[in-house]
Amino acid sequence: MDAFQPLMPLLDKLRRRSTFSAEESDALLAIPHRASAIQPGAYLFRDGDVPQGYGVLLAGSLYRQKFARDGSRQILAVHLAGDLLGLDQGTLAAHDYSLQSLSRADVAFISHQAMLDLVVAFPNIAQALWRETIVDASIGREWFVNIARLSARGRVAHLICELATRQDAAMLDDSTIDWPLTQEQLGDATGLTPVHVNRTLQAMRATGLISSQRHALTILDWAALRDAGDFNPAYLHLPIAIAAR
């Protein structure tokens, strides 16, 4: 079925915050696109490139990043399946961040024109895309405050809470989530060195907050983790049913 409806992850994600008529749903699933498999570590675009179109992440995970002059990397956001890509870059003259794959991923590429045709024909879809972009920016602001205001333990705890909440339905069981990040990448996302990330994770395991395997992470004490990370899911702008946990 998914083979015939490759854009279903997009529709699923949009439905969390918007509702569509049957006609609109059909139009979303029928967006002209070119699906492509992305190798781990490949760039979809780089800081400074000219935007060539939009995308939808069908499977896998990607991250946005910028580099400082000293070569250090800051991860700005993690994209999960269903996320729209590059919408926040519009048709500007140049991208202001890079988009790289974290794992093997499937991406559907959509031309600027195809997207424009869609939103002109369906204002309600335009509104839904606009809403997703706003939420995206909201998540960025939340990350900002975390890095600026929380301790190492708080930053790591917050990111764990966010990814758990965003994966939600896709969770393996009630408390174990996919964990796509290495400790080095977690450091690049939280503004910490890998060494300190390691020590922070050890402390969190020692105090019974989490346990972690290779590519998975188990939340042992959600209340304590949420508390440590000062996590309040309001910034995700999810329906109450999903946000409550």
Binding positions for DNA, rule: CB under 7 A: 151-153, 182-184, 191-196, 198-202, 214
Say which entry of a copy of itself, DNA, none residue 195 contacts (CB below 5 to 8 A, set by partner kind).
DNA
Tell me how crowded residue 150 is: count the other CB atoms within 10 A of its CB: 18
DSSP letter, residue 49? P
Say which entry of DNA, a copy of itself, none residue 201 contacts (CB below 5 to 8 A, set by partner kind).
DNA
Q: Is 218 in the site for a copy of itself (CB under 8 A)?
A: no
The residue written with tokens 């519009």 in the block is: 90
**Which residues are within 8 A (CB) of 102 and not within 5 positions of it... i.e. 6 or more apart?**
40, 60, 61, 62, 63, 78, 180, 181, 185
In terms of CB distance, is 37 or 120 closer to a copy of itself? 120
Say which entry of DNA, a copy of itself, none residue 183 contacts (CB below 5 to 8 A, set by partner kind).
DNA
> Do residues 128 and 18 make contact, with C-beta atoms less than 8 angstroms apart?
yes
Say which entry of a copy of itself, DNA, none residue 198 contacts (CB below 5 to 8 A, set by partner kind).
DNA
Report the C-alpha gap between 156 and 193 in whole angstroms.
12
**Residue 78, beta-bridge partner list:** 63
Per-residue interface string for the shown chain with a copy of itself, residues 92-131, x marking contact by CB under 8 A: xxx-xx--------------------------------xx
- Using the contact rule CB under 8 A, the part of the chain among 28-36, 52-60, 197-205, 227-235 near a copy of itself is 227-235
